[in-house]
């Protein structure tokens, strides 16, 4: 079924239309919008008119398909005052266009004119006295906070998420976002889908890449290219590589950090592929049992110190043997071993409730398999963060939680690259 906001063909105009429609339908939402973004301009907000792709007193609307570039995207006005809204996503805001809009509205008899430029990223060079720039992220964040008061705010934020996905898929939105990351949570009311999972993964990865401490303390390449491979699979994931002198390596040739997301949890892991090369391979496979156990113990202690005994997460090691029907297909798992790393250490496992059984054999088994393997076995160490009542990730700081998971793995990362 076609969405109520899909009046226009161009994605940029659909975005503006959704905002203008919601403001027009809910006068309290309009009042709140103006208080937030254009305070003290209009005295009476309930008599305001809203127009799109046209000028006051015109009797017809110019379609976006006709290519008319002389009209503002939206107007909010009364008899003497006018607020111009000019929106941009893939194109850039220009000073000439804003000045032209202002002159046009001045000729229509408005005595007081202000303007808002809605953009993905602020354009520093475009500065005019009567204009301000606001990001689409800010609009989404504002609308998200109004969801408890306005059904139209709910419709608006829902549509922003749908439209953002379409913009990314069609490469209309190549950088940045129009929504804001508010946390990761799925349940029977808000069920997981590949589409929403991929959108949230993109948002959380954007935030993680802004964490300069990952580069400073773990030598993570924050500007490196991520993953673009598997399409339409249930689970979604992306990765971060480390800054090394080897520039021609694939991410599967060296250890890397992985963020994975599915219907039950989001995970932040250190991944060691089966075909790692060079010094990291030599270091990893030359570990004695005692040294291996000692490093994993330090990782377990880091998780315990950071996240405590909460059942909102589980630190783990995963060994997996996989194959792929094609490069863009989901994996077929021929074997998978996963266990809670706290089972290997009595002083940590004994503090859990209910008490966890101390079982060092699982860690020993991983060590023996790792050092005697004859197939494509991948090693991962990290943590799963669940969408339960003790969730660490159902808020806007979920990116910091995943970064802390990476920092917990620092003892092994430092050793691999030593």
Q: Please state, rounded to an integer, the average pLDDT across all residues of the chain.
A: 90
In the Cβ-directed half-sphere of 274, how many Cα atoms lie within 13 Å? 15
Pairing of strands 74-77, 81-87: antiparallel
- Give pLDDT, residue 63: 44
Would you state the structure tokens that stand for residue 26, as one six-digit string? 């809910």
User: For 49-101, what is each residue's pLDDT tens digit?
Assistant: 999 988 887 644 444 443 445 689 999 999 999 999 999 998 889 999 999 99
- Of 316, 255, 317, 319, which Cα lies nearest the Cα of 284? 255
**Cα of 185 vs its chain's centroid, Å:** 13
Reported as type and span, the H/E element at residue 77 is strand 74-77
- Give pLDDT, residue 65: 41
Is the pLDDT assigned to residue 393 strictly greater than 90? Answer: yes
User: For 281-339, what is each residue's pLDDT tens digit?
Assistant: 999 999 999 999 999 999 999 999 999 999 999 999 999 998 878 766 777 888 999 99
97: Cβ–Cβ under 8 A, 6 or more apart, which residues? 69, 86
- Give pLDDT, residue 127: 92
Please provide residue 31's backbone torsions phi and psi, each rounded to the nearest 5 degrees. Answer: -60, -45
User: For 91-136, what is each residue's pLDDT tens digit?
Assistant: 889 999 999 999 999 988 899 999 999 999 999 999 999 999 999 9
- Kindly report the pTM of this predicted structure: 0.82
Q: At what angle do helices 289-307 and 361-371 cross, to 10 degrees?
A: 130
User: For 190-214, what is each residue's pLDDT tens digit?
Assistant: 899 888 898 899 899 999 999 999 9
All structural domains of the chain, each given as residue ranges with its CATH number in brackets, are 11-169 (3.40.91), 194-416 (3.30.930)
**Residue 258 per-residue DSSP state:** E
In the Cβ-directed half-sphere of 287, how many Cα atoms lie within 13 Å? 24
- Give pLDDT, residue 101: 93
Portion of the chain with pLDDT greater than 70, in percent: 93
Ranges of H-type helices in 38-184: 95-107, 136-145, 151-169
User: For 215-228, what is each residue's pLDDT tens digit?
Assistant: 999 999 998 877 65
User: For 334-357, what is each residue's pLDDT tens digit?
Assistant: 899 999 999 999 999 999 988 899
- CB neighbours (10 Å) of residue 287? 18
Is the pLDDT assigned to residue 374 strictly greater than 80? Answer: no
> CA-to-CA distance for 105 and 190, rounded, in angstroms?
44
* Over residues 239-266, mean pLDDT: 87
Split at pLDDT 50, 70, 90, the class of 372 is confident
Reported as type and span, the H/E element at residue 213 is helix 212-218
Residue with the two structure tokens 């909102």: 312
Reported as type and span, the H/E element at residue 349 is helix 346-349
Instruction: Give me the DSSP letters along 8-65.
Output: SSSHHHHHHHHHHHHHHH-HHHHHHHHHHHSTTS-S-STT-EEEESS-TT-SSPPPGG
């Amino acid at each position: 079924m076609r969405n109520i906001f899909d009046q226009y063909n161009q994605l940029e105009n659909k975005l503006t239309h959704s905002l203008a429609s919601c403001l027009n339908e809910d006068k309290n939402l309009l009042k709140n919008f103006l208080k937030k973004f254009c305070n003290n301009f209009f005295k009476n907000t309930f008599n305001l008119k809203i127009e799109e792709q046209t000028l006051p007193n015109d009797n017809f609307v110019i379609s976006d398909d006709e290519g008319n570039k002389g009209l503002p995207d939206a107007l909010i006005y009364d008899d003497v005052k006018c607020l111009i809204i000019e929106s941009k996503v893939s194109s850039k805001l220009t000073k000439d266009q804003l000045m032209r809009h202002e002159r046009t509205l001045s000729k229509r008899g408005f005595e007081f004119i202000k303007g808002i430029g809605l953009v993905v990223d602020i354009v520093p060079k475009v500065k005019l006295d009567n204009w301000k720039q606001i990001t689409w992220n800010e609009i989404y964040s504002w609308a998200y906070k109004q969801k408890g008061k306005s059904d139209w705010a709910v419709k608006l934020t829902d549509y922003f998420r749908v439209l953002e996905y379409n913009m990314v898929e069609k490469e209309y939105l190549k950088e940045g976002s129009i929504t804001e990351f508010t946390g990761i949570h799925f349940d029977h009311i808000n069920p997981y889908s590949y589409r929403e999972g991929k959108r949230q993964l993109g948002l959380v990865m954007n935030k993680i890449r802004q964490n300069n401490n990952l580069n400073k303390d773990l030598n993570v390449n924050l500007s490196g290219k991520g993953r673009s491979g598997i399409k339409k699979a249930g689970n979604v994931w992306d990765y971060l590589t480390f800054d090394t002198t080897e520039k021609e390596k694939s991410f599967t040739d060296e250890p890397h950090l992985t963020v994975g997301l599915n219907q039950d949890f989001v995970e932040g892991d250190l991944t060691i592929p089966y075909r790692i090369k060079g010094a990291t391979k030599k270091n990893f496979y030359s570990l004695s049992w005692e040294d291996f156990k000692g490093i994993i113990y330090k990782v377990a202690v880091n998780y315990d110190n950071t996240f405590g005994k909460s059942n909102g997460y589980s630190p783990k090691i995963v060994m997996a043997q996989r194959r792929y029907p094609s490069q863009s297909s989901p994996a077929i798992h021929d074997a998978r071993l996963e266990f809670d790393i706290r089972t290997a250490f009595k002083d940590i496992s004994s503090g859990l409730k209910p008490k966890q059984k101390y079982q060092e054999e699982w860690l020993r088994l991983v060590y023996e398999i790792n050092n005697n393997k004859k197939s494509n076995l991948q090693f991962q160490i990290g943590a799963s963060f669940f969408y339960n009542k003790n969730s660490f990730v159902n808020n806007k700081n979920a990116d910091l939680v995943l970064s802390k998971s990476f920092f917990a793995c620092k003892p092994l990362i430092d050793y691999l690259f030593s």
